[in-house]
Structure 1
Amino acid sequence: MRLTGKQAVVTGGRQGIGRGIVEAFLAEGATVLTCGRGARPDGLPDSCDWVQADVSDPAQVAELVRAAGPTDVLVNNAGVQVEKTVADSTDADWDLVIGANCRGVFNACRAFIPLMRKSGSIINIGSISGHTADPSMALYNASKAFVHGLTRSIAVDHGPDIRCNAICPGWIETGMLEAGFNLSDDPTSARRDALARHAVRRFGQPADIAAMAVWLASDEAGFASGQMFTVDGGMTAASPINTGLF
């Protein structure tokens, strides 16, 4: 029970990675509050508090802070994805992606930092897409690079009272992964080729990211700050020639 006695807030805990982190934190003894733009989702554990909030809106984030009170752990997971190039992206796409993925993380950090307990931990969900660009994901790629830069700045400016790190997931089995494959002319072939690029020969599960989040939230990670932790099954470790595809 590595998180016993800790109050945690996880944004975007309805499904996918966020839901996995919520469940892992509860299992490790944390008190957890999560949020999303809609009503409380079915199946969310009764022990987890829910607040309806859009993190791109500072006023709604302020309500989230009031509901949470003094906090030990903040996980900025809420995010969206639009599958378009720069030339195809609209102002509405910009507002959606940058609003949730950039402004949302900024809003939450700005609001929670003054009220976080000493030795607090902020965990931002970045992406390998913030290091290398996925095709037709221009705004998403750029938004995750922003998250990485903000993570470093928070670690530098607010240490030693607060640690701040980012987890950079690779290809995790969620709706976002399927949307990416559907951009291909042959999604089945794209999935097969992508799987071959993973040293562990599987895609990730939300639980894989949650395991890293538990460690970063715990006192065991007391010397980890300002870092981007890639969890991608070894995909970015190898050059394409090592997969046998070329």
Structure 2
Amino acid sequence: MTTIDLSGGLVLVTGGAGSIGRAIAKQAVQAGACIAVCDADIEGADAVADESRANGAVAESFEMDVTDQNMVKEVMDSAVKELGPLRGLVTAAGVLRTGPLSSQSHQDWKHVMAVNVDGTFHAIQAAIPHLESTRGSIVTLGSVSAFIGSADGGAYTTSKGAVLSLSYAAAGELAPKSIRVNNVAPGWVDGGFTHQALAASDNPDALRKHASALHPLGRMATPNDVANAVVWLLSDQAAFITGSMLLVDGGYMIQHNG
């Protein structure tokens, strides 16, 4: 039987307290990895690490502001020192600020770019010297929004397009070092930003129905759907895959490719 095996190494997840990051951390643990759960929300990161340890895993939580380049490097180095060689990096930290481009505040725009784009760059840069020795793997978190227009999500859409381009650039540059870099692009996910939108909606049932209908498979992704793809790409099952973008979108993009 073919199994995904991440034993013998550390997987560091930024945004590890979020719904997708949490699912990735849990599945990496199930595949045998040690886990560094990193998030600006240290209480949330603590909870994920505590649950993992309760299930017999080696896991630690770290407070990390991905917009702080020095902090990212220091946390990365500390995690490796505590938990062992870095096998994989997952950049799941992200924020969403909505609003039309005509009135989007510069502060909100800069914050989205700082977290989603700069934060991804900081994490990749800090991980490179550690991954060189392990021939490890990086998975960045993208979105179908990188490919479509949006009435009020211009900043987020732009940031995810930049993350995808950065992933391609990193894949080409790091391939000679045997470091693989891939991107996972979900559609709507039943968690995180979607739950925030549902909580703010005047008609959450209608919004959920609309979001589900956008996907030909008839539902939104679960965080575990995304985690399945990420953990597979981290593993040796994907040893010859780099510079790829994997849509985990229930067919969402089929409707935009015609």
Please give the TM-score of this superposition, normalised by the length of structure 2: 0.87
Deviation digits for residues 21-45 of structure 1, max 9, x if unmatched? 0000001000110111132326322
Matched residue type, 1:97: V
Could you say which residue in structure 2 is the equivalent of 1:237?
A: 254
Partner of 1:96: 111
User: In the aligned structure 1, how far is the partner of 2:47 from the partner of 2:125?
Assistant: 31
Query: Helix, strand or coil for the counterpart of 1:168?
Result: strand
Runs of 5+ consecutive residues of structure 2 not aligned to the other structure: none
- Structure 1: how far apart are the matches of 2:256 and 2:108? 32
Superimposed CA distance per residue, residues 1-57 of structure 1 (whole angstroms, 9 cap, x where no aligned partner): 511112110001112100000000001000110111132326322332111110110
Does residue 147 (structure 1) correspond to residue 163 (structure 2)? The answer is yes
1:43 paired with 2:31, answer: no
Following the alignment from structure 1 to structure 2, what is the Cα–Cα distance between the partners of residues 169 and 129?
A: 9
1:125 lines up with 2:117 in the alignment: no
184, 187, 191: which one pairs with 1:167? 184
| 2:97 paired residue among 39, 59, 82 | 82
Question: CA offsets, 1:65-114, max 9 Å, x none?
Answer: 21122411000010000011222221220231111000000011111112
Q: Equivalences for 1:1-246 in 2 at 5 Å?
A: 2-41=5-44, 43-44=47-48, 45-46=52-53, 47-69=58-80, 70-116=85-131, 117-160=133-176, 161-180=178-197, 186-238=203-255
- SS of structure 1 residue aligned to 2:136: strand
Deviation of 1:197 after TM superposition, in Å, equals: 2.8
After TM superposition, give the deviation of residue 182 of structure 1 in Å.
6.9
Task: Give me the CA root mean square deviation.
Answer: 2.1
Q: Check the 8 A contact 1:169/1:209 in 2, yes or no.
A: yes
Q: Tell me by how many angstroms 1:181 deviates.
A: 5.5
One-letter amino acid matched to 1:216: L
Q: CA deviation at 1:131?
A: 1.2
3-state DSSP class of the match of 1:226?
coil
CA distance in 2, matches of 1:195, 1:121: 32
How many Å separate the matches in 1 of 2:194 and 2:241? 29
Q: Is the 8 A contact 1:197 1:240 kept in 2?
A: no
Runs (4+) off by over 6 Å: 182-185
Distance 2:43 2:212 in 1: 34
Matched length: 241
CA contact (8 A) 2:12 2:36 kept: yes
Gaps of 5+ in 1: 242-246
Query: What amino acid is aligned across from residue 205 of structure 2 in structure 1?
Result: T
Alpha-carbon distance in structure 1 between the residues aligned to 2:74 and 2:257: 47
Q: 167-176 or 196-205, which moves further after superposition? A: 196-205
Distance 1:187 1:134, change over 3 A: farther
Residues of 1 paired with 2:37 and 2:223: CA distance? Answer: 16
> TM-score, length-normalised on structure 1?
0.91
Bigger helix share: 2
User: In structure 2, the residue corresponding to 1:88 is in which secondary structure?
Assistant: coil
CA distance in 2 between partners of 1:203 and 1:238 (Å)? 15
Which letter does structure 2 place at the counterpart of 1:156? Answer: G
Does structure 2 conserve the Cα–Cα contact (< 8 Å) formed by 1:81 and 1:97? yes
